[in-house]
Amino acid sequence: MTDTPPRTPLQALPRARFLLTAWPWRSALYALSTAPVLSLLAFPLLVIALPWVILAVMLIDAGRDGMPDVATSVGLLVSGGVLVGGLGPLTTLPAAMAERLRLRLIDLRPAADGHRDPASPGLWAWLRLRYTEPATWRELAYMALGGLLLPAWMLLWGLPLLTAMLLATPLLAAAEGPVNLGPIVASWPAETWPAVLIGVVLLVATPYLLALVAGAHGALARALLTGRGAEELRVELVEVTRSRARLVDAFESERRRIERDLHDGAQQRLVALTMQLGLARLDLPGDSPAGRAVAAAHDQAKEVIADLRELIHNIHPRVLTDRGLPAALAELADRCPLPVRVRADLAERLPAHIEGSAYFVAAEGLANAVKHSGAESAWVGAHLDGDRLVLEIGDDGRGGADPQRGTGLTGLADRVAVMDGRMLLSSPEGGPTRLRVELPCRQI
C-alpha cells in the first residue's frame, strides 16, 4: 500500500522526514509573506472603513478627552457600515483572487472560488449576483479578519530574527564585548552557550511552528475563499432532493401508464382473439387437423393472457392505484404461496411514489422469503411513525439473509435510498428474518 503524499503542511507535520521536504520552506514563505501581503491587500478595505477607525481611536482616547458625542458616534458607525457594505465586496474580490493564488504555496488541492456565473450578461447582472451570493461576503469576512490578525502575523517575523541573534551571540561577544539578553549576560564567547542552546532549539522548532501557523491560516483561507458555503450546499442539496423526488414521481407515472396501456390495449385485444379462437374451435371437429391447430392456438392464447396479466400486475397492480397500499398488501398476501399475515394501519392515502415503493419492497421481501428462507409463514406490517412510513416484512425461516448472495436485498436498498429512506435487516442464522424499511412521506 503506497503512502499518500501530503497536500498541506498540517498533513506533512507528523511525518518523520518533514524537515527534509519542501514543506518547511513553503510554510515559511507563506507565513512570513502573510503580513506584508495582507497589509497591501487590506489597505483599500482599511480606507473604506476609515469612519470605524476614527470611532475606535475616539473611544480609546475617551479616558483622556472624554466620551465622543452620541450623534458623532452613530454617524461614524453608520457611515462606516454603508461604505464597507457598499464598496467592501468590490475591493475584496481581487484581493481574494490573489489570496487563492498564494494559497497554492501550502495547499496542493484545487482552490476554485465559490462564485457563480451570472445568468444574463451585463454589469448590473454581475453586480447583483456578486452582492447577493454568500461567497462575496465570506471573502469580505476573510479580509477583515486578516486585517485584525496583522499584529500577530508581524510578531512571527521576530521568531527567526531572535533565533539568528541567539545563534550569533558567540560572534557578538567576541567582537563587541558583553552581550545582554535579558537573564543571559555573556562577557566572552564561552559564556554564551545557554543562548546558543536556546537558539538551536528554536532553529529546530521554528519550521514546525511556521508550518502549524501557515497550515491553520491556509485552512481558514480555504474555508472562506474556496468552494461553496454551507448555506449554498444546503440549497443545492434540497434542489437535488426535489429533483430526485420528481424523477421518482415521473418513473411511477410511467409505470402506471405502461400498465394501463397493456391492460386496456394489448390485453383486451388478446382476450378478443382468444374468444374468436374459442368460437372457431367450436365450429371445427375436434379430431380434425384444423380443429387441433385452432385448439392449440386457443390454449396458447390463454397462456399468453395469463402471462400478460402477471406482467401487468408486476409493473403496477391496479388495486394499488384504485384502493391504496393496505388493499394491495392484502392482495399480495393472497397471491403468496406462504400464509401471510397483514396489518396495515394507514388511515389515509400516501403519495403515489411512496405507496409504489413500499408495495414493491414488500413484494420482493416476500419473494425472498419464498425462495430462500424455507419459511412456513410470513407477515407484513405498515404504519406511520411521524412523517415516515414504516414497512416491516418478516418470516419464520432459517435466516442468514445476506445482500452479497444475490437475494435481491441490494436492489431493495437502492430503491429505498432513492426515496431518501433507510433499510434495516435482521437475519441471524436459524432465523427469524425481519426487514424494516422507513420511507419519508414529507413534502420536500
Q: Where are the domains of the chain?
A: 9-225, 250-315, 320-440
Task: State yes or no: pLDDT of 231 exceeds 80.
Answer: no
Print burial letters for 347-358: b (CB count within 10 Å at least 16), e (below 16): eeebbbbbbbbb
Contact call for residues 352 and 259 (beta carbons, < 8 A): no
Torsion sign (Cα): 88, 93, 98, 99:
positive
Contact call for residues 389 and 442 (beta carbons, < 8 A): no
Say if residue 36 is preceded by a cis peptide, omega within 30 of 0.
no
pLDDT, residue 25, reads 92
* Percent of the chain predicted with pLDDT > 70: 80
Alpha helices in 122-229 (DSSP H): 123-132, 134-148, 150-156, 158-167, 169-176, 193-225
- pLDDT tens digits for 293-346? 878 888 787 787 777 766 666 666 777 877 888 888 888 888 888 898 989 888
pLDDT, residue 232, reads 55
Assigned C-alpha cell, 438: 422507513
Assigned C-alpha cell, 173: 561577544
Residue keyed to cell 498533513: 11
Least confident stretch, 33-47, 142-156, 171-185, 419-433? 171-185
Architecture of domain 320-440: 2-Layer Sandwich (3.30)
Assigned C-alpha cell, 179: 552581550
Q: What mean pLDDT is reported for the chain?
A: 80
Q: Give me the mean pLDDT over the 161-180 stretch.
A: 75
Least confident stretch, 90-94, 238-242, 270-274, 393-397? 238-242
Assigned C-alpha cell, 394: 418478516
In a 13 Å sphere around the CA of 55, the CA atoms on its Cβ side amount to 17
| Confidence at 1, pLDDT banded by 50, 70, 90 | very low
What SS3 class is residue 388?
strand
Contact call for residues 374 and 398 (beta carbons, < 8 A): yes
Residue keyed to cell 472624554: 66
- Other Cβ atoms within 10 Å of 89 Cβ, number: 19
Distance CA 93, CA 371 (A): 64
